[in-house]
Chain A
Amino acid sequence: MRSSKPPVLATWLLEHIRFSRTDQALAGDLLEDFRNGRTVAWYWRQVFAAIIVGFLREARSHWVLAIRTAVIGVALNCGVLVLGHDMLAAIYQRRILNLTAVPPLTAWIVTSFFSGVVSGWIVALLHRKHRDAMLLTLAGALLVWAAMMRGTLLTPRPLQQLLIEVFTFYVFALAGVFVGGFLVSASPKNVTPTNDSSVLKHLL
């Protein structure tokens, strides 16, 4: 028998990544339709579409903030990556910790994650009202930036190593962005009028 409960992760995403005033009604509609016989795949499609459409709408409405987020976020991420790398090198040289046992990939994962946390946290602090849209903007900017950097500026590496580094950066830096961002509570959105819309008020 088919479960009447929708996928937990999809519902969690829908409830925690918010863009507009109608999100509660939208979540209720999806739940109602799912319980009326829609499939799990349909539910996931609808959740992803709602997030992407909401994000595009908000990013387009606040495009100046989106550009500022991309610039600040990528600069912060670069800075933390470089500083983190230097700090690890200093620790290694002074033999404060025995880092010889730590493989380079682990160090790369730690710095990637930490750079994501810091940039996500600061971007969320600067854009509390549009936190989720700006975090997604930052994630997109980091994806583009990392692809450009890996493809052009860094020293040539074997393809396998390059792919591993890019993949780990994507996974851990982007995870860090959302961990850091969600440490900051978002400002509440505008409250929807309950019984009549502003348009009706205007007409009357």
Chain B
Amino acid sequence: MRKTYFFCIFEEMKRGYFGEFELLVMLALMRLGENAYGVTICREIEEHARREVMVGSVYATLERLEEKGFVSSELGEPTAERGGRAKKYFHVTSKGLREVRDTQRALMDLWDGLPELERGIA
């Protein structure tokens, strides 16, 4: 059974580091660049994490990240394909980028020298 990110809403950023789903969303935004909106973000996460993603959870996470200043957004033009609704594009801010780097550094430090994980990779 596939694990879903249904209850990622409960993830909190008590301090600087991201929760698991928040980090996935931030990395997806960085990979997508200028084309990061709901559909592409979900596809990117699903493709790499191999899990079904709830669009509502992604938006809740993005709103939270935006409130923290890690992400910014802008509305695109409405299109007929979307029933006249505009896309909302998201971008990582410089503050967000710094935070991702800090999280990466912390994770790499923790990963480094763990024999169990090294055997897993081999």
**Measured CA separation A54–B55 after assembly (Å):** 11
Number of A-B pairs whose CB atoms are under 8 Å? 103
CB pair A32–B62 under 8 Å, yes or no, is no
Known contacts: A28-B82, A29-B39. The answer to whether A197 contacts B56 by CB under 8 A is no
**Measured CA separation A52–B57 after assembly (Å):** 10
**Measured CA separation A29–B82 after assembly (Å):** 7
CB pair B9–A57 under 8 Å, yes or no, is yes
Known contacts: A28-B85, A31-B85, A49-B56. The answer to whether A196 contacts B72 by CB under 8 A is yes
CB pair B54–A50 under 8 Å, yes or no, is yes
Chain B proximity of A190: nearest CB distance (Å): 11
B87 within 8 A of A: yes
Q: From the candidates B39, B74, B83, name the one contacting A197 in the complex (CB within 8 A).
A: B74
Instruction: Give the residues in chain A near B62, CB-CB below 8 Å.
Output: 22
Closest to B75 in A: A194
A1 within 8 A of B: no
Q: From the candidates B39, B42, B72, B87, name the one contacting A200 in the complex (CB within 8 A).
A: B72
B18 within 8 A of A: no
Instruction: Give the residues in chain A near B6, CB-CB below 8 Å.
Output: 49, 52-53
CB pair A20–B63 under 8 Å, yes or no, is yes
A101 within 8 A of B: no
Instruction: Give the residues in chain B near A197, CB-CB below 8 Å.
Output: 66, 72-74
A185 within 8 A of B: no
**Measured CA separation A26–B82 after assembly (Å):** 10
B104 within 8 A of A: no
Instruction: Give the residues in chain B near A53, CB-CB below 8 Å.
Output: 6, 9, 54, 56-57, 60
B86 within 8 A of A: yes
A195 within 8 A of B: yes
Closest to B61 in A: A53
B81 within 8 A of A: yes
**Measured CA separation A50–B57 after assembly (Å):** 7
CB pair A25–B93 under 8 Å, yes or no, is no
B19 within 8 A of A: no
Chain A proximity of B57: nearest CB distance (Å): 5
**Measured CA separation A52–B95 after assembly (Å):** 30
- Top 6 A-B residue pairs of the complex, sorted by shortest distance between their CB atoms: A28-B85, A50-B56, A29-B38, A28-B82, A25-B88, A49-B54
Q: A32-B81, A53-B9 are in contact. List 16 more A-B contacts (CB 8 A).
A: A20-B59, A22-B63, A24-B85, A24-B86, A25-B59, A25-B85, A26-B55, A31-B82, A32-B39, A33-B39, A45-B54, A46-B56, A50-B54, A53-B56, A199-B69, A203-B93
Residues of B within 8 A of A (CB): 6, 9, 37-39, 42, 54-57, 59-60, 62-63, 66, 69, 71-75, 78, 81-83, 85-88, 93-95
